[in-house]
Structure 1
Amino acid sequence: MELNDQVALITGGTAGIGLEAARLFVRAGATVVISGRDAERGAKAVADIAQGPGTVRFVAADLADLESVGALAEAAGPVDILVNNASAFPVAPTVEQDVAGFQRMFDTNVRGTYFLTAALVPAMLAKGSGSIVNVTTMAASMGVPGASGYSATKAALASFTRTWAAEFGPQGVRVNSVAPGPTITAGVLAEWGDGVAELGKGLPLRRTANPLEIAEAIYFLASPRSSYVTGSTLAADGGGTAV
């Protein structure tokens, strides 16, 4: 299989896009670690993913907590693939955004992702290979009312992608981003409700994505199929950033 002997860590891997990505990776033969804050949801995700030819296990972690980030890196051990997918998004109009929600978004999406990557990339650099995929958003490069804080955190990840590609590329580690458009997941529906469907109707493809469509883009960038691709952002957004 394509990912035999590869170890992958997918943060936020217990639901939505992360869960579908984990399913693809296991199917390709990878040893997969998924993380999330909810142990019950993690156990359910592991049971939901068909084992074989790869395997999957769950590690509880909160990326907003740096001690938890360090413990996750230690529990995962050396990895070949890192998918930075975990995200907090208590969205609100700028004048209504509370400080606690704003802080959690930056602690989880930016700080947690940064220091998890910093903890795991040395093993990749020493090995001379590896792939990091940051999951950003269409809203990182266009204005979406109500998503100011969230968009800013994802724009930071897009910047990380470019810088890390330049830093890590000479030692064989690739870094790319997937920027999804509106995607139907339980978390998105809880925050955006009917607004996510309305956003999808305004795209050239006139619809929202399902999580598997975004997971396929993540898999492509993580896998050997994109062996000469680094520092790029794959816009999986139904054409949203093209118009």
Structure 2
Amino acid sequence: MPPPRGAWNPIECAGDYTTTKSVYNDTYPAIDPTKADQSGKAIFVSGASKGLGKAMAISFAKAGASRIAIGARSDLSTTENEARAAAMEAGRSEPQILKLKLDITDQESVDAAAKLVEREFGSVDVVINNAGIMDGRGSVAEMDANLRGAYLITRAFLPLLLKSDLKTLITVSSVGAHCITPGLSAYQTSKLAVLRFTEFVAAEYRDQGITAFAMHPGNILTDIVGNGVTVTDQYCPNLDTDVSTGMDPKLKAVFTETPQICADSMVYLSKERREWLSGRYVNTCWDLEELCSDPLRKRIVKGDMLKVKLVVPNEDSRGGV
């Protein structure tokens, strides 16, 4: 499971340990993709050459997705081969896999990718905005990849989603959207903006059947944090960074999740339409079976929870004034 409740964790936020009774840091039986049936469905994943994106393609292949489009700037051969092998191992039909050379910050590149997917697949049931960066320098490029990239992908692929059955858009955000960590202003601000953007998509396309939600993928040692090797002490300047690893052991201990839990969570949440979840934030560490169960689901909907809000004083909090 994630670090014990109460353990030092600079990127912990409200609800991490309290939204569901159980929390996880690796995949678990309830979200096993081999129990889902995505046969006949078309999936698109950006940032799919390694890390989270590769794991997502593999999980959807295990779930039997018939068509999987994978996009990235880097070579996608490994992802393609592992996804095909995963499908066969799970006893599924081999999926049609479409590899796309893709720069999510370039509109022409994104539009060209969408046109190719439309030509080959016709429509897309699930679109996953996964690609992003965290360079720790507060750069415009970081904001572009995390926010503008999500916007461009959504804009280009919405017409394909609208022609599908599931009409599900998932955007990778971060628990960092709810934190203020000095040195991570560009990353955390862009991930907060992604949450609001997701709410807008959900509101503006609700009547057309689009379901859009954002997900914290877990704290994972992928390339975005240098696999725990190249992250510097700017994230937590009071720590003693080991120059041989680039990450303080105390901070590295916070990165407990696997790519598989995020990937399998996406399969679980998209295996059916979940209109109630649209516009909301999900932490992949939560027990998703409990999250989607009637008692908790109804409480979330009634309170309009898991959304970005401004909390203001009311009569009770002002002491009756």
Q: Do they fold alike, i.e. is TM over 0.5?
A: yes
1:83 aligns with 2:108: no
Residue type of the alignment partner of 1:53: S
Alignment of 1:1-243 (within 5 A): 2-30=37-65, 31-39=67-75, 42-49=76-83, 50=85, 51=87, 52-55=92-95, 56-77=97-118, 78-92=123-137, 97=138, 102-127=139-164, 129-188=166-225, 189=227, 191-192=230-231, 195=247, 198-199=250-251, 201=253, 208-224=256-272, 226=274, 228-236=276-284
Query: Which of 163-172 and 51-60 deviates more?
Result: 51-60
Q: Is the contact made by 2:230 and 2:247 (CA closer than 8 Å) also made in structure 1?
A: no
What SS class does the counterpart of residue 121 from structure 1 fall into? helix
TM-score, normalising length: structure 1: 0.83
Q: CA deviation at 1:238?
A: 7.6
Q: Is the contact made by 2:57 and 2:79 (CA closer than 8 Å) also made in structure 1?
A: no
Q: Give runs of ≥4 in structure 1 deviating > 3 Å.
A: 126-129, 193-202, 225-228
Change over 3 Å in CA distance of 1:129–1:223 after alignment to 2: closer
Tell me which structure has the larger Cα radius of gyration. 2
Q: CA deviation at 1:217?
A: 2.1
What is the alpha-carbon root mean square deviation over aligned residues? 2.5
> How many angstroms apart in 1 are the aligned matches of 2:133 and 2:262?
18
Residue type of the alignment partner of 1:91: G
Identity in percent: 26
Residue type of the alignment partner of 1:72: A
> How many angstroms apart in 2 are the aligned matches of 1:213 and 1:196?
25
> How many angstroms apart in 2 are the aligned matches of 1:45 and 1:173?
28
> How many angstroms apart in 1 are the aligned matches of 2:198 and 2:152?
14
Q: Gapped runs of 5+ residues in structure 1?
A: none
Structure (1 or 2) with the greater helix fraction = 1
Q: CA deviation at 1:209?
A: 0.5
Structure (1 or 2) with the greater strand fraction = 1
Residue type of the alignment partner of 1:17: L
Residue type of the alignment partner of 2:133: A
Deviations 1:146-192 (A, max 9, x none): 21101111111111111111111221110011113321223422552
What SS class does the counterpart of residue 224 from structure 1 fall into? coil
Residue type of the alignment partner of 2:217: P
Change over 3 Å in CA distance of 1:195–1:109 after alignment to 2: same
Deviations 1:17-62 (A, max 9, x none): 11111111111121111111013xx112211222442523311101
> How many angstroms apart in 2 are the aligned matches of 1:199 and 1:234?
23
Q: CA deviation at 1:132?
A: 0.3
Higher relative contact order (CA 8 A, sep 6+): 2
Deviations 1:194-233 (A, max 9, x none): 548634645xxxx511111111222223221745421111
Between the two proteins, the alignment pairs up a number of residues equal to 226
> How many angstroms apart in 2 are the aligned matches of 1:149 and 1:160?
16
Change over 3 Å in CA distance of 1:148–1:191 after alignment to 2: farther
What SS class does the counterpart of residue 234 from structure 1 fall into? strand
TM-score, normalising length: structure 2: 0.64
